[in-house]
Structure 1
Amino acid sequence: MMIIFKEFLIVILVVLFSIATFSQSSVILYTYAQDIVPKYIIQGNSISGFCHDIIVELNKELKKDNVEIRYKSSTAKPIQQIISSLSNKGVQIFVGVPHSEEWEKTVKYIRLPLYVVREIFVIKSDMENVLNNKDSMKIGVIGGTVTARKIPNMPQQQEIVEYKSITEAMEALEKGKVDTLFLSSLPLGYYISQSKGKYKSMNAPSEKCYQYIVFSKSVDDKVIRVVEEALRKILINGVIDRLIKKYGLEGYVLPGNVVEILLVDWKPYEWYDKDKKDWVGMDVDVVKKVFSELGFKPVFLSFPWTRCLELMKTKMYDGVMSVRDIEERKDFLTFPREPISAGFDVLFKLKSKKIDISSLEKIPKEALCGYGDGYAYGDWFWNAEFRKVPVSTDEVGFELLKNGRIDLFVCNLLVGKYIAREMKIEVEYSPVFGEKMVYYVGFSKNFHGSYLAESFSEQLKRFKNTSDYMDILRKYGVKYEELWK
């Protein structure tokens, strides 16, 4: 009896294993090619192109999980038809589509971007001077695209002309039927790079546009997670970088795991090391470590502080460092739950200056205090009765303090001590009059920004409990208690 039972159990296990294996091997995700070059290039029954090559690389990773992306036909389709097919379960996946709140109602998005583009204008190179003097502009777009719905305002009067495909639009530009085309930098960048100087892009501020993999809502979430991990691997392994170079798209397309972050020199939190030719600092090291663990590559760019905030309003970049979450900034920034660092603002003066800064009441009303333009200070500072004057940077403030142009300068305690030591000036600083200043990495107010804020917050919280985090603080001479106690 026992032998029969064992044999029966073995049969059951074999059947279950066979069913599981069959189930896994039968996960075929059908897709279409889009009628836009170089995302998909159709030659007869053959499909190639930037996104096609991405599918090839994804399939290499997906093979071990018995998942495959396969074309349903070799005929390219317009994006609206592809989205409709996904909604109707005609196909299960599409590679290379921007986020749209309207489309999100009918398809599932992987939150990790595939690659990043901007919208750009392209013109014929020999028409640049002519167009600068025109009172009106005919702008060609591809009908039904997300890009077509957000053309920026120009000084000239605008007339929008819709086309069905990029090929048709480029022919119209060539024949002078339109003055310029406005479209994603992927196809236009490709045409520019292939044209040998015939076409060029017009400089125009543009928000970043993140391209994604989307699925029919009928696709199981487990399968979607498998595809997402395959995407993460090819991003980390530099596959998208290599394809960008293959198609001559450098300067027009970024891999989806590149995060562009704005910052200023603000020792010891962040500053540019001229010897290392890299950004360093307590917060920079933490951001690099946290994002690397998430599979992202942070890229740091510096502008004056007020300019950083203005650029974030345009959604041209992904994040900004060491920013306070005051109410007015929540209109254009997404804040993670977990702060990056903290500090206290105090008043600095020269030791030789005969001003009592032991309390706000003892500071003369005629005393002149500098502050960083665009920085967020506590109410204690704004309510103080001494005179106030904005300066461009903390370094400028200390220079004015050194030269006797101002009597006081308000600054983060750690930052002020660093600057004074570097400038070799003897200063004194006041007691802490206000609350602790808590700083965040503020992310763009969009679909991708909310994803970055969530992912970054969770990983940062875990990282703060590691010895690696404590090592970073010690490296910059900062005690844990100075930040968080």
Structure 2
Amino acid sequence: MRMKSMLKRIFSSFVVVALLLFSSPSFSQKILYTYAQNAEPKFMLSGGNITGLCHDIVQEMNKELRSEGIRIEYKSKELRSISEIFNALSKNEIQIFIGAAYSEKRESYATYLQPPLYGLREMFLVNSMDLMRFAERQYVKIGVIGDTVTSESLPSIGLRQEAIAFKSINDAIKALEGNEIDTVFYSSLALGYTLKNSKGKFETLKDPSEKYYHYVVLSKSVDKDVVAKIQIALEKLHKDGVVRALIKKYGLNDYVIPGNVVEILAVDWEPYEWYDTVRKEWVGVDVDVVRAVLSKMGYEASFLTFPWSRCVELMKIGAYDGIMSLRITQERLAFLRFPEEPLSTGKDVLFKLKNSKINFSRLEDIPNSVLCGYSEGYAYGDWFWDAKFKKIAVPDDITGFKLLKSGRIELFVSNSMVGKELAKELDVDVECSPVFGEKMIYYLAFSKNYQGSYLSNVFSQRLKEFKLTDEYLRILRKYGITYDDFWR
């Protein structure tokens, strides 16, 4: 009996302690309210229940936040417009929203978390039967979703055009089907989902467009400690590939990219950056450094390539996140954000065939009749442009060295390390001139938008720190470069 009584007292004591613990402030649950947006496939209603990509992200975030005593809950199951949602955020009627584009106005009363949830692009959707005749239209009626970031950035696609605002994407698609409008302009998330499920009913215009992002946003009233915990949960969803898997679940891989992936334009420019056809990946001293630094920021680098002039044009419209390896020029400052910390350096020199009789020990000794090639769109020093010899633009360095080898040009200007690698690869027997100009300073430049500004600032600081590490020195040695080669 005494044993039963003792066990009973122990159990009672345990219950009391447990009740005290779980009723204490440290175990109380923090509820953050949200609304679902009237925007498929971010949020959708199925049998009265909310579903969709951003709903699934809410569920996954709740799993991560459970141990922190934080939970995201819907204030109602009614789908709301984005203007209604941000109005509710500004009044603290709700405290969080999953899947909002950035605008300066919104940032005044909402906190945007990094990294973004996903990146997407603007997109035009047309009826398939109208695609071939679309370019001939003199007057275009374009459906947009009212009070959205995309509706404020409508590009010009016709001689005359009229924007017609709709409350939801479903209303806009119905108007397109009924030929009330000629096209719908909205995000690749919504229109890509519609296109995928249209069974050939719709097509998209293929012109490249600006890349932008959707974020987790919080009311300014949310405690900083709670914001920090949600930030950590978001980073973990990216690190574990959860957001990537959800994008795939909805069949959106062709239209949406995880927000921690930074898309960077590059060209073959050995030893700085080039595509290794054997390993099937981008390599090079700048590539390895960028990849390492972005990884430490919680981001993943993805490298893409086009002809150099095309890369520059794509960055002018903000189609990708970054471009390397660039010098700063006044023209580029108009559409690119350069970090304070440079990525690498180099020296431009003139190359000639070894059997050439041209004397280029001094610029003044080169005859005015000599023809020198240069890569179109590259930024050379004033010494080159001020030189009296003739100049001709070519598409890229590879073309330049091939023309030099064939005798169609007599000189070619190039980065000294790049030129030596190319000459070896193309079996061109060359010699190079002295260095006539200043050392070239190269950067990874970012798009001039909200995300590009963030990446530029953080990347600059992390790159500066990374240059002090043994890991950085190992990358340089891997490509036969010393620290002094770049920075002395």
Compute the TM-score of the two structures, normalised by the length of structure 2: 0.92
Does the aligned pair in 2 maintain the 1:111–1:448 contact within 8 Å? no
Q: Secondary structure at the match of 2:76?
A: coil
Q: Any stretches of 5+ residues in structure 1 without a counterpart?
A: 1-13
What is residue 276 of structure 2 aligned with on the other side? 273
Question: Per-residue deviation at 1:298?
Answer: 1.5
Given residue 398 of structure 2, which amino acid in structure 1 is its aligned partner? E
- Per-residue deviation, residues 359-379 of structure 1 (Å, max 9, x unmatched): 222222222221111111111
What is residue 198 of structure 1 aligned with on the other side? 201
Question: Per-residue deviation at 1:293?
Answer: 2.2
Given residue 204 of structure 2, which amino acid in structure 1 is its aligned partner? S
Structure 2: distance between partners of 1:214 and 1:304: 37
Structure 2: distance between partners of 1:356 and 1:474: 34
Corresponding residue to 2:162 among 135, 159, 163: 159
Q: CA distance change for structure 1 residues 21 and 339 in 2, over 3 Å: closer, same or farther?
A: farther
Q: CA distance change for structure 1 residues 131 and 420 in 2, over 3 Å: closer, same or farther?
A: closer
Q: CA RMSD in A?
A: 1.9
Question: Per-residue deviation at 1:404?
Answer: 2.0
Residue 244 (structure 1) aligned with residue 247 (structure 2): yes
Q: Secondary structure at the match of 2:80?
A: coil
Q: Any stretches of 5+ residues in structure 2 without a counterpart?
A: 1-16
Does the aligned pair in 2 maintain the 1:98–1:212 contact within 8 Å? yes
Residue 353 (structure 1) aligned with residue 356 (structure 2): yes
Q: CA distance change for structure 1 residues 24 and 335 in 2, over 3 Å: closer, same or farther?
A: farther
Question: Per-residue deviation at 1:51?
Answer: 0.3
Does the aligned pair in 1 maintain the 2:371–2:389 contact within 8 Å? yes
Given residue 105 of structure 2, which amino acid in structure 1 is its aligned partner? E
Structure 2: distance between partners of 1:315 and 1:366: 41
Does the aligned pair in 1 maintain the 2:137–2:158 contact within 8 Å? no
Structure 2: distance between partners of 1:125 and 1:355: 60
Comparing 361-370 and 302-311, the one that deviates more: 361-370
Question: Per-residue deviation at 1:440?
Answer: 0.4
Q: Secondary structure at the match of 2:185?
A: strand
- Per-residue deviation, residues 122-163 of structure 1 (Å, max 9, x unmatched): 122233235444332221111111111222111353222211
Q: CA distance change for structure 1 residues 403 and 127 in 2, over 3 Å: closer, same or farther?
A: closer
What is residue 114 of structure 1 aligned with on the other side? 117
- Per-residue deviation, residues 76-105 of structure 1 (Å, max 9, x unmatched): 111111101111111111110100111111
Structure 1: distance between partners of 2:311 and 2:236: 32
Question: Per-residue deviation at 1:195?
Answer: 2.1
What is residue 215 of structure 2 aligned with on the other side? 212
Structure 1: distance between partners of 2:426 and 2:372: 19
Corresponding residue to 2:141 among 138, 141, 146: 138
Q: CA distance change for structure 1 residues 21 and 422 in 2, over 3 Å: closer, same or farther?
A: farther
Residue 377 (structure 1) aligned with residue 380 (structure 2): yes
Does the aligned pair in 2 maintain the 1:24–1:67 contact within 8 Å? no
What is residue 429 of structure 1 aligned with on the other side? 432
What is residue 472 of structure 2 aligned with on the other side? 469
Q: Secondary structure at the match of 2:78?
A: coil
Does the aligned pair in 1 maintain the 2:367–2:389 contact within 8 Å? yes
The 5 Å alignment of 1:388-407 reads: 388-407=391-410
Question: Per-residue deviation at 1:44?
Answer: 5.1
Question: Per-residue deviation at 1:196?
Answer: 2.0
Q: Secondary structure at the match of 1:42?
A: strand
Residue 179 (structure 1) aligned with residue 176 (structure 2): no
Corresponding residue to 1:80 among 76, 79, 83: 83
Question: Per-residue deviation at 1:425?
Answer: 2.5
What is residue 413 of structure 1 aligned with on the other side? 416
Comparing 398-407 and 54-63, the one that deviates more: 398-407
Residue 124 (structure 1) aligned with residue 148 (structure 2): no
Q: Secondary structure at the match of 1:389?
A: strand
Residue 460 (structure 1) aligned with residue 460 (structure 2): no
Structure 1: distance between partners of 2:351 and 2:359: 11
Structure 1: distance between partners of 2:27 and 2:252: 36
The 5 Å alignment of 1:56-95 reads: 56-95=59-98
Structure 2: distance between partners of 1:256 and 1:87: 25
Corresponding residue to 2:483 among 462, 480, 485: 480
Q: Secondary structure at the match of 2:304?
A: strand
Comparing 81-90 and 352-361, the one that deviates more: 352-361
Comparing 76-85 and 36-45, the one that deviates more: 36-45
Q: CA distance change for structure 1 residues 44 and 285 in 2, over 3 Å: closer, same or farther?
A: same
Comparing 422-431 and 93-102, the one that deviates more: 422-431
Given residue 163 of structure 1, which amino acid in structure 2 is its aligned partner? F
Structure 1: distance between partners of 2:412 and 2:437: 15
Question: Per-residue deviation at 1:52?
Answer: 0.5
Q: Secondary structure at the match of 1:73?
A: strand
- Per-residue deviation, residues 52-78 of structure 1 (Å, max 9, x unmatched): 000111111112222211111111111
What is residue 8 of structure 2 aligned with on the other side? none
Structure 2: distance between partners of 1:227 and 1:155: 44
Corresponding residue to 2:37 among 15, 34, 56: 34
- Per-residue deviation, residues 25-69 of structure 1 (Å, max 9, x unmatched): 332211111111111112354211110000111111112222211
Q: Secondary structure at the match of 2:232?
A: helix
Q: CA distance change for structure 1 residues 130 and 328 in 2, over 3 Å: closer, same or farther?
A: closer
Compute the TM-score of the two structures, normalised by the length of structure 1: 0.93
Structure 1: distance between partners of 2:42 and 2:345: 45
Question: Per-residue deviation at 1:200?
Answer: 2.3
Residue 297 (structure 1) aligned with residue 291 (structure 2): no
